[in-house]
Amino acid sequence: TEDALNLMGDLYYQGYDGLILHEEQVTPAFFDLKTKMAGEILQKFSNYRFPLVLIGDFSKFPSQSLQNFIRESNKGRQVNFVRTLPEALQLLSKP
């Protein structure tokens, strides 16, 4: 969680206004909601209004709780889960 906050701070300081990550760049523990890692990290990105878009095929994760978590996140604008880079870029380019 602290690594995510440091990364966000570094990117913000350098003038970035969002982050796109591929699923492979994220530790598998992130996708296990029992670790609470996803909730903590996504809360930080939301609190600081720093958009985060994760790219991948998240349907492969069997957890219904995770699928619900993804659906709820995708209702907002701060943290989204998409399948392709063009989708991610489109989300970040919206005013």
Rounded-to-integer distance, Cα 18 and Cα 52, Å: 6
pLDDT tens, 42-62?
Answer: 898 988 899 999 999 999 999
Q: Domain count of the chain?
A: 1
Residue 71 pLDDT exceeds 90: yes
Range of the domain at 87: 2-93
The two tokens of residue 59 are: 């349907």
The burial of 53, by beta-carbon neighbours within 10 Å (0-12 exposed, 13-18 middle, 19 or more buried), is given as buried
Could you report the per-residue pLDDT of 81-94, keeping only the tens digit for each? 999 999 999 999 98
Closest CA to 83 of 63, 54, 52: 54
pTM for the whole structure: 0.90
User: Which domain CATH number covers 86?
Assistant: 3.30.750
At 73 the pLDDT is 94
What pLDDT, on a 0 to 100 scale, did the predictor assign at position 85? Answer: 98
